Amino acid sequence: MKKLICFISVLCLVLVLSACGSKPVQEKAKVFSPSLDTNRSCSITVAGSYDNFEALEAEFDRFNEFYPNVQLKYQKLDDYKNILGAALQGNDKPNVFFSYPWMIGNNKYESIVTHMEDLSDPALNIDLGCIRPGLINRDSEGHVLIVPVFSRSYGMLVNNDLFEKEGLKVPTTWTELITVCNAFREKGYASPMMGYSLKSSSCFMYTVAYPMFAADLAKDEKALKLANDMDPSAGEYMRPALEKVEQLIRNKCIDLAECDKIEDNYTQVILRFFEGDVPMMICAGDTVSGTKKRESQSEAFSKSPFKYTFSPIPVTEEGGYFLDSPSIEFSVNKDCDDLDMTNEFMRFLITSKELNEMASAKRLVTPTADLSFDALYAPFGQVPSERTMSPEVIGITDPLTVQIRVAAYEVGRGNLSVDQAVKKYGTFE
C-alpha cells in the first residue's frame, strides 16, 4: 500500500510538472473564407493617384484564387483630387478609391464623402481590429469611412555598413547624434546628415522638427487648440523643435551646399544615399518605399551594396519618436456596381496577412496591429509606446503642419532666426 501511494504521488508530480512546462495552445491565424458564390463574374476597379500599383495587383491575383471570374484592375486618375467627385458619379465609376482623413467634414469634398461605405458596419465582417487603433479614423457618428492600407513615418536612412566601417554606433540620443556627426566630419564626411533642401515643401528640416513639436502639443490640450487655431502665441511651442534644427546646422551636422545638389525629395534623395558616402539621409517613409526598386538603378550601389535601415531621428536624450500616420487609405464607393463583391474584396484585403504582404512588396510600413515591419523599419519597432504617436488621434490639423514645416525650413536655411519664426506662427503659407 505504501509503495502504491508513493507511485501515485510521483505520477501526480510528473503530471503537474509536465502541465507547468507545456506551451499554451497557439491561436490559429484567421483564414479568409469566401462568403459569396465563387463562380460569380463581375469587375472591380480601384482608382487612385499612383502611376502604378504592383503590390495591389498582386492582391488581385490572390483574390482570384478564391474568385477566379472577378476581374480586378487599378486605374490612375489624373488631377485626382479634382476629378474624383465626378468619377464617382460617372458611368464607369470606381468600386474602391484612394481617400484621405481631411476629406471628412470638409464641405469641398462632401460629394465624395457621401459615396463612402461605412466599413465598420458589422454586416460587412471586415476585421478592422487587425489595424493599429491610432490609424483608424472615425467620423462624428463613429463610422469608419476610410481604412489605411499603408502607414508612414519620418526619420533617416542609415548606412549601417558605413557606421561599422568607421567604428561608430548609430545614435539613439541627441548627444550621441551630435557626437557621431562630429566624428564623421573629422573622418572627412562633408555632411553627415543630408536631405532635399531646395524648397519649403521638402520634408528635410520638417522631419527633424515635426515629431518633437507634435509630441509637445500632445501633452497640452490648451497648446494644441491654440496651435490649431493659428493663435500667434502658439509659436512658442515650436521653439524647442526649431532650436534642434538650428543646432544641427550650427554644429555642421548638415552642409546645405551639399544638400542643395539633390534635385528632388524622392529618386534623387535615394540615388544620392546609394552613393555610399552619406551616413544619414533625412526623409519620409514614402521616400523609403522607393529604395528597393532603385537599388539596381544605382551604379554605385550595384557595385558596392550596403546594409541600410530607416531609423527615428533621436531629437531628445530619450530618443526619437515614431509618428505613426496613414499613408494610403481606401474607401468603398457604396453606389458602385457589385457592391457586395467589392466589400468582399475589402474583407479579404483588410487582414494582417494581406496588408503585411502588400506593405512588404511596396516597402512601406504595414498598418497592422502586430507591427510586422520589414527589416528595413526594425528600428521603429523598438520605439516605446509612450514615444509613438498618431497625429490624427492627437488632433493635429493640416494648417498646423504647414506652420512647422515652413518655420523649420526658414530657420534651417538661415532665412529666419528661431525668435523670428516663433513670432510668425499662423502666417506661414
pLDDT of residue 291: 94
Give the percent of the chain with pLDDT over 90: 77
Contacts (Cβ under 8 Å, ≥6 apart) of 1: none
Planar angle of CA 231, 246, 205, nearest 5 degrees: 75
Q: In terms of residues, how long is the chain? A: 429
Q: Which residues pair with 301 in a beta bridge?
A: none
Average pLDDT of the chain?
90
> Residue 19's pLDDT band (boundaries 50, 70, 90)?
very low
**DSSP alpha helix (H) spans, 65-165:** 80-89, 110-113, 160-165
Q: Is residue 68 predicted with pLDDT exceeding 80?
A: yes
Overall pTM surpassing 0.85 (yes/no): no
CA distance 427 to 423: 9
Residue 1: pLDDT over 50: no
Q: Which three cell numbers stand for residue 259?
A: 544638400
Quick check: helix, strand or coil at residue 27? coil
Cβ-based neighbour number of residue 306 at 10 Å: 15
Q: Beginning with the edge strand found earlier in the chain, give each strand of the sheet holding 42-48 in spatial order.
A: 70-76, 42-48, 96-99, 325-332, 147-152
For residue 363, what pLDDT is reported? Answer: 87
Model confidence at 99, pLDDT cuts 50, 70, 90, reads: very high
pLDDT for residue 62 is more than 80? yes
Considering only CA atoms, which of 309, 384, 374, 371 is closest in space to residue 132? 371
From 100-109, 167-176, 177-186, 349-358, the region with the lowest mean pLDDT: 100-109
Please determine, for residue 182, whether its predicted confidence score (pLDDT) is greater than 70. Answer: yes
Instruction: Look up residue 25 and give its DSSP letter.
Output: P
pLDDT at 45 over 90: yes
